[in-house]
């Protein structure tokens, strides 16, 4: 059966409009024997559960805030749901209603989630997932709504789907709009000329004062994967720059050699060890808070970041507070 990923948005402004889309979508999936996952706000989960009645327990539920904290983790969770459940249905299709969380995010985080919505059109293209992404106009701004129209080929209103006139090719939507940060006068640069072990030593030394021991080790792994990716893409020399920046530890890898073959969604799809090893940057994307890649005739840049020691401590304290109800 030919793969056919169907990616739709639903722009709604009331509980009734949400249910007018969600209930038919879920009920038809259950009637056809297709696995159905709903990941949205806790309020919407309660609404849908109450309306579905006896069928409510046939649905898989996940609150959006915990279904992939960052876009690479969300994409991996979606793909894994497909991989696990697709063999259980005769139609070969899986239905997912997936509402991102937009409130309380930084400008960079919002940009990353927009990038993910475009990426799904490419990363999941060989699946038979039917996905609807709801956008609540009571909670999100006009800019996010406009981007929903650009990243989803179709928009759903109730049971009716219409093509989005504003839809953009994913590669065009994610085309870099800024130039990489200059590094010529940066302090503490390390020059990579083929020795991966030396790069890891440099990274661990620089990160030791900025991260916990475990986080520094993971950062070293992530950067090692990124360097290996560059080497595999034909790059054999680069400048490595590790420094603190706005509560994070950032590493920039810059070479005057362009990457041989790079697409804007590298690092999003988990490797399938039975069929292919992946694109080489999935692990880096899982470890790091962000991963940016650019390449043109002047060379290539890979930049990645981890939360600094202070952010780690705050997150650990907050996790303990929630766990013990204090």
Domain ranges across the chain: 6-173, 190-312
Q: What are phi and psi of 278, to 5 degrees?
A: 90, -175
Q: Give every strand in the sheet of 94-98, ordered side by side.
A: 60-63, 36-40, 94-98, 129-136, 6-12, 154-157, 160-163
Tokens of 114: 């927009």
pLDDT of 322: 37
| Calpha distance 253→196 (Å, rounded) | 13
pLDDT of 326: 43
pLDDT of 271: 77
pLDDT of 324: 42
| Calpha distance 48→39 (Å, rounded) | 11
Closest to 193 (Cα-Cα) out of 256, 261, 259, 280: 256
Closest to 14 (Cα-Cα) out of 131, 157, 125: 157
pLDDT of 121: 96
- Report, at the CATH architecture level, how domain 190-312 is classified: 2-Layer Sandwich (3.30)
Instruction: Say how many CA atoms lie within 13 Å of 76 toward its Cβ.
Output: 19
Contact 222, 288 (CB under 8 A): yes
pLDDT of 309: 78
| Calpha distance 148→8 (Å, rounded) | 9
State the distance between the two ends of the chain, measured CA to CA, in whole angstroms.
52
- What pTM did the predictor assign? 0.84
| Calpha distance 176→101 (Å, rounded) | 24
Tokens of 293: 């890649």
CATH code of domain 6-173: 3.40.50.300
| Calpha distance 207→216 (Å, rounded) | 6
pLDDT of 59: 97
DSSP string, 192-203: ESS-HHHHHHHH
Q: What are phi and psi of 316, to 5 degrees?
A: -65, -45
| Calpha distance 255→183 (Å, rounded) | 11
Provide CB contacts within 8 A for 243, sequence distance 6+.
186, 188, 206, 249, 250
Tokens of 316: 């650990």
- DSSP summary character for residue 87: G
205 three-state secondary structure? helix
| Calpha distance 42→163 (Å, rounded) | 29
pLDDT of 50: 96
Tokens of 308: 């600094």
Contact 164, 152 (CB under 8 A): yes
pLDDT of 49: 96
* Cα–Cα separations (whole angstroms), residue 79 to 5, 84, 242, 263, 272: 12, 9, 32, 19, 11
pLDDT of the chain, 326 residues: tens digit per residue? 456 899 999 999 999 999 999 999 999 999 999 999 999 999 999 999 999 999 999 999 999 988 988 999 999 999 999 999 988 888 889 999 999 989 888 888 999 999 999 999 999 999 999 999 999 999 999 999 999 999 999 999 988 999 999 999 998 887 765 555 566 556 678 888 888 888 888 888 888 889 999 999 999 999 999 999 999 888 989 999 999 988 899 999 999 999 987 777 888 887 765 454 556 799 999 999 989 998 889 999 999 999 987 654 444 444 444 344 44
pLDDT of 33: 94
Tokens of 161: 């789907």
Contact 156, 11 (CB under 8 A): no
pLDDT of 44: 96
């Amino acid at each position: 059966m030919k793969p056919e990923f169907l990616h739709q948005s639903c722009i709604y402004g009331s509980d009734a409009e949400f249910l007018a889309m969600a209930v038919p979508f879920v009920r038809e999936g259950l009637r056809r024997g297709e696995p159905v996952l709903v990941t949205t706000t806790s309020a919407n989960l309660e609404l849908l559960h109450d309306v579905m009645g006896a069928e409510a327990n046939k649905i898989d539920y996940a609150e959006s805030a915990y279904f992939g904290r960052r876009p690479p983790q969300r994409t991996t969770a979606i793909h894994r749901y497909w991989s696990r459940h697709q063999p259980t249905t005769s139609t070969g299709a899986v239905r997912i209603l997936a509402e991102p969380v937009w409130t309380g995010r930084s400008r960079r985080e919002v940009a990353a989630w927009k990038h993910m919505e475009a990426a799904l059109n490419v990363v999941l293209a060989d699946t038979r997932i039917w996905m609807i992404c709801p956008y609540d106009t009571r909670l999100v701004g006009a800019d996010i709504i406009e981007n929903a129209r650009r990243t989803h080929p179709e928009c759903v209103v109730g049971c009716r789907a219409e093509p989005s006139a504003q839809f953009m090719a994913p590669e065009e939507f994610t085309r870099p709009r800024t130039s990489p940060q200059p590094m010529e006068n940066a302090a503490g640069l390390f020059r990579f000329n083929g020795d991966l072990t030396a790069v890891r030593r440099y990274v661990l030394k620089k990160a030791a004062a900025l991260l916990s021991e475990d986080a520094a080790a993971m950062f070293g792994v992530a950067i090692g994967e990124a360097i290996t990716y560059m080497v595999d893409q034909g790059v054999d020399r680069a400048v490595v720059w590790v420094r603190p920046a706005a509560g994070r530890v950032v590493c920039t890898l810059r070479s005057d050699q362009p990457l041989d073959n790079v697409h804007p969604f590298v690092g999003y799809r988990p490797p399938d060890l039975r069929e292919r090893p992946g694109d080489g940057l999935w692990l880096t994307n899982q470890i790091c808070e962000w991963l940016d890649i650019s390449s043109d005739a002047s060379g290539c840049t890979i930049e990645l970041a981890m939360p600094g020691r202070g952010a780690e401590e705050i997150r650990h304290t907050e996790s303990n507070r929630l766990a013990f109800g204090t």
